Amino acid sequence: MASDQTIQPAQPKRPKKRYSQKVNDRRSGYLFVSPFFILFGIFGVFPLLFTAYLSFHRWNILGTREFVGFQNYSLLFTDDPLFWKALGNTISIWLISTIPQLIAALIIAFLLNQAFLKGKAIFRLGIFMPNVTSVVAVAIVFSAMFGTQYGIINYVLSLFGIDPIHWRGSYFGTHVAISTMVMWRWVGYNSIIYLAGLQSISKDLYEAATIDGANKIQQLISITIPLLKPIIIFTVLQSTIGGLQIFAEPMLFGVGGNYQGLTVTLYLYEEAFTRFSFGYAAAIAWLLFFIIILFSLVNVFLTKKIKST
């Protein structure tokens, strides 16, 4: 279909030259796209398959290997409470960070889209700034802020008469601290995306709704959210894929005595690069991949359902 397009324009001229141009195009076409496919073959396709192969072996860094079939997987499912703990932590952190994050982003975008607002560019810049900061820097500064004894957050809470919270000592504290880092880094990013979506919605719709007597909240629920649906799905997907792979924040904040900060990717990393059980880590990697796909599909399904009222 598409291949007919280029042949047309110059056809009346010289058919012979056209033919050589066609051969030329084919040669340079393959040549020009080949770097991606070669690199992806080496660092993408091969590792993907090899991870699958590894996951059926007991394999360590000394190179001793032994085919064990599905043993790594059955071990993961039946005899590894730490893996399930890591999965539970990952999902908990992901929920605590994603839901408020997307709601806050939506509200901020809605406010930024008000016509009378002055200083839009400054607000946008400020809100977006966290996103360019490295995860490492974010994790370090928030670790300081969430300090139990001298952290600014406990200090602020104490002004409201709340006793110091031992952020590193409990599931709740650790999950909230890590989720806060994620939220801080991504609210602005999602606001900017929603804002772009909002700007593409026609003003007439809102004017008509105002004439019909709908207030701002009603407009948000019955015009804005349904029309933003594709973009909401996009952001939900992105936060699912990113959130389930969370690694640097818990690593730098510390997993804590009960492993309450251990996430799946962190567990994978430790199995692979501190205990060097490559086979087992490979099985974790594939399982994580399936979990991400599963969650993405469920989320897309749910987002589609809820919003189409």
Partner 1 sequence: MKEVGEKKLSKIVLYFFLIVSALLSVFPFYWMYVIGSNSTNAINKFPPAVIPGTSFADNAAKVFERIDFFGALLNSFIISGAVTLSVLFFCSLAGFAFSKLQFKGRDGLFIFLLATMMIPPQLGLIPNFMIISELGWLDDLRAVIVPAMVTAFGVFWMRQYISSSVPFELIEAARIDGCSNFRTYWNIVLPAVRPGLATLGIFTFMGTWNDFLWPLVVLKDRSVHTIQIALRTLNDVYYTDYSMILSGTFMATLPILVVFLIFNRQFIAGITEGAVKD
Site for partner 1 in 24-43 (CB under 8 A): 24-26, 28-33, 35-37, 39-40, 42-43
| CA–CA gap between residue 178 and residue 263 (Å, rounded) | 11
**What minimum distance in Å lies between the beta carbon of 87 and partner 1?**
14
Query: With respect to partner 1, which residue has the nearer C-beta, 177 or 192?
Result: 192
- Applying CB under 8 A, the site for partner 1 has a residue count of 100
DSSP code string of the chain: -GGGTTTTTTTTS-HHHHHHHHHHHHHHHHHHHHHHHHHHIIIIIHHHHHHHHHHTEEEBTT--EEE-TTHHHHHHHHS-HHHHHHHHHHHHHHHHHHHHHHHHHHHHHHHHT-TT-S-HHHHHHHHHGGGGS-HHHHHHHHHHHT-TTT-HHHHHHHHTTPPPP-TTTSHHHHHHHHHHHHHHHHHHHHHHHHHHHHHTS-HHHHHHHHHTT--HHHHIIIIIHHHTHHHHHHHHHHHHHHHTT--HHHHHH---TT-TT--HHHHHHHHHHTS-BHHHHHHHHHHHHHHHHHHHHHHHHHHHHHH--
Q: Which stretch binds partner 1 (CB under 8 A): 1-9, 77-85, 88-96, 255-263?
A: 1-9
Query: With respect to partner 1, which residue has the nearer C-beta, 23 or 204?
Result: 23
Q: Does 135 bind partner 1 (CB under 8 A)?
A: yes
Query: With respect to partner 1, which residue has the nearer C-beta, 171 or 234?
Result: 234
Site for partner 1 in 67-126 (CB under 8 A): 104, 107-108, 111-112, 114, 116-117, 122-126
Q: Does 226 bind partner 1 (CB under 8 A)?
A: no
| CA–CA gap between residue 153 and residue 115 (Å, rounded) | 35
**Residue that has been written with the tokens 């806060």 in this structure:** 180
- Please, are residues 65 and 148 in contact by the beta-carbon 8 Å criterion? no
Query: With respect to partner 1, which residue has the nearer C-beta, 27 or 301?
Result: 27
Q: Does 64 bind partner 1 (CB under 8 A)?
A: no
Q: Which stretch binds partner 1 (CB under 8 A): 86-94, 168-176, 189-197, 201-209?
A: 189-197
Q: Does 66 bind partner 1 (CB under 8 A)?
A: no
For the chain, the straight-line distance linking the first and the last C-alpha, in angstroms and rounded, comes to: 38
Instruction: Identify the residue among 75, 91, 145, 225 touching partner 1 (CB under 8 A).
Output: 145
Instruction: Identify the residue among 95, 103, 196, 306 touching partner 1 (CB under 8 A).
Output: 196
**What minimum distance in Å lies between the beta carbon of 173 and partner 1?**
18
Q: Does 207 bind partner 1 (CB under 8 A)?
A: no
Site for partner 1 in 255-294 (CB under 8 A): 265, 268-269, 272-273, 278, 281-282, 285-286, 288-289, 292
Instruction: Identify the residue among 195, 236, 255, 262 touching partner 1 (CB under 8 A).
Output: 195
**What minimum distance in Å lies between the beta carbon of 222 and partner 1?**
19
- Please, are residues 159 and 245 in contact by the beta-carbon 8 Å criterion? no
Query: With respect to partner 1, which residue has the nearer C-beta, 291 or 309?
Result: 291
Query: With respect to partner 1, which residue has the nearer C-beta, 117 or 302?
Result: 117
Q: Does 218 bind partner 1 (CB under 8 A)?
A: no
Q: Does 160 bind partner 1 (CB under 8 A)?
A: no
